[in-house]
A and B are shown apart, each in its own frame.
Chain A
Amino acid sequence: MVDPYHDISFEERMSHVDFRVSGKPHIAVDTEVCRSCTTRACVTACPANLFVPTDDGGILFNYEQCFECGTCYQVCDESGAITWEYPAGGHGVVFRKG
């Protein structure tokens, strides 16, 4: 049966978005703090699906395909887990059909 949700894979979904990736991450996640987190709100709420839980209870995070929306730091209730800022000027996502 075809997966009803994934009419396209998430990778393909994101391949239609332009990013000018900066060498310096604009968001940092302290996975030590994540270990004690019970909600894992970021995992389902991040529209770019950038928070991936690991088997050992941590979180894997990659900033490269970030929409810079702010959802993750707003839904995360653990202080110190997310350090959030905008990428350097001119870098990051470039929407064409926004």
Chain B
Amino acid sequence: MSDRGAGPSTAAVPIPRPQRYDFDAIVVGAGPAGSAAALELARAGRSVALLERGPFPGSKNVYGGVVYGRVLDGLIPGWQQEMPVQRWVTRRQTMVLSGARSLTVDFRNENWGRAPHNGATTHRAEFDPWLAEHAQRAGAVLVPSTVVVALLRTADGAVHGVRTDRPDGDLTARVVLACDGVNSFLAKQAGLLGGDQASHTTLGVKETLALPRGVIDERFGVTGSGGVDVEMLGCTGKVPGGGFLYTNAESVSIGLVLGLRGLARAKVRPEHLLAELKRHPSIAPLVRGGELVEYSAHLIPEGGYRTMPPLIADGLLLAGDAAGMCLAAGIWLEGVNFALGSGMCAGRAAATALATGDTSAAGLAGYRSALRSSFVLADHERLRDAPGLVLSERMQQRYPGLLCDFAESVFAVDNPRPKPGFRALLRRAAKRNGVRMRDLAKDALTGLRTFG
């Protein structure tokens, strides 16, 4: 194996303690976590390099499509006026699919179309460069087309820089921020990320389908810059996962997230499941005639709080997906806001440590307390049981059918037979889907405890 690549089996490079440093800080990865961290460090007056393996920030990144941007209030005041937005989300839906049926909870709020807004659809090839440019304007040095292949470590294990795939590509710094996303080889090299990743990682596949603006407005019942996000359950066959459908200005993004182990076991290809979703009678009318603009895929760390690695080592901080800070809990699929929040905290903590001259794990400990008092760790801690609940067999295989059966019996009219009461209908729907009322009550309680 070459010593120039970044991969699962590369190891950290031992170096003597540097006499002088090229930068105060090196940030690896110009995703939302990295750019937020670099921006904070540059603002604090620190010299910082922001390294990105793609030819431009965002070129390697894929997500569903919605940024919940309020966290930007503390980073880029007035972001609403300048962020590259496709549509502001004014309507959110959660849909469960069972066979040819579906049940949807539909919420709309026209206020979300105005500042301060709630969420926006945007493409990563537009959003990530916008953010990185803010870091650059504050003084960070963006170095694209550069792969970080290894950490530089002294004999005591402390990180003092990185090796890149450029000739003479070693760069030293007092602190390194690993914002290198879900496959974080830096976290692995530092010995922070181990275990069976595949069991709590999902594969996201997405199609971007072009449709005229007017057609989208009509089909999704929106106007102007308003948009819709739809999260779906019960659309992934035997594979634990979920689906999403988001509106852009002149395209829609439709995709699935699929548990890796389940996908490997089910012997079904991701684009086949996606094709099936697109043929569902509730989805087909929404995407009909859409022409494929891009097909894409990316992994998602879904384990949440329980699978998070240690976030700090001597000379090293982890933020964003590299630290497993993606929140995937059924009606939520968020990660950009967590990446931004953790990147900000990491950048500030690193700046403080640099100011005091102590970038050891102890000197960087302010990072964890800052995360604790922000939504980043608070939400993750509170929702630590959500991933298991949402990907559980009952939630995936039985509840969509149960809910659709229940809705069908409530809405169906077959008099002259008298209609049983709701409780009886629910009992019947549960029985038909092999769910014991006891388990239903238990899951409802867990759900309430988790989400309530």
Q: Residues of A with Cβ closer than 8 Å to B?
A: 4-8, 10, 12-14, 16-17, 20, 26, 39, 41, 44-45, 47-49, 67-71, 73-75, 83-90, 92-98
Contacts and interface: CB of A to CB of B under 8 A. Distances in A.
A84 B2 CA distance: 11
Contacts of B205: 47
B343 interface: no
A5 B273 CA distance: 8
Given A74-B299, A83-B7, A89-B145, A98 B63 contact: yes
6 contacts: A71-B260, A84-B7, A85-B5, A86-B5, A87-B147, A94-B55
B123 A86 contact: no
Contacts of A67: 62, 296-298
Contacts of A98: 58-63, 123-125, 206, 294, 296, 298
Nearest to A75: B264
Contact of A47 (B7, B124, B253, B271): B271
Contacts of A47: 203, 205, 270-271, 297
Contacts of B292: 8, 12-13, 16
B268 interface: yes
A94 B53 CA distance: 11
Contact of B275 (A6, A16, A68, A84): A6
Contacts of B7: 83-86
B266 to A, nearest CB: 8
A93 B55 CA distance: 10
B201 interface: yes
Interface string B404-421: 000000000000000000
B263 interface: yes
A86 B197 CA distance: 18
B260 A74 contact: yes
A88 to B, nearest CB: 6
Given A5-B272, A13-B271, A75-B260, 12 more contacts: A45-B260, A70-B183, A83-B1, A85-B149, A89-B165, A92-B60, A94-B59, A94-B60, A96-B294, A98-B60, A98-B62, A98-B63
Interface string B285-318: 0000000111111110000000000000000000
B271 A10 contact: yes
A16 B293 contact: yes
Given A8-B292, A97-B293, A44 B264 contact: yes
B269 interface: yes
B275 A74 contact: no
Contacts of B271: 5, 10, 13, 47, 49
B201 A95 contact: no
Given A45-B260, A70-B182, A98-B62, A16 B299 contact: no
B203 A71 contact: yes
A5 B268 CA distance: 11
B263 A44 contact: yes
Contacts of A71: 203, 260, 297, 299
A55 B165 CA distance: 38
Nearest to B6: A86
A17 B295 contact: yes
A45 B203 CA distance: 9
Contacts of A48: 297
A8 B263 CA distance: 22
B294 A16 contact: yes
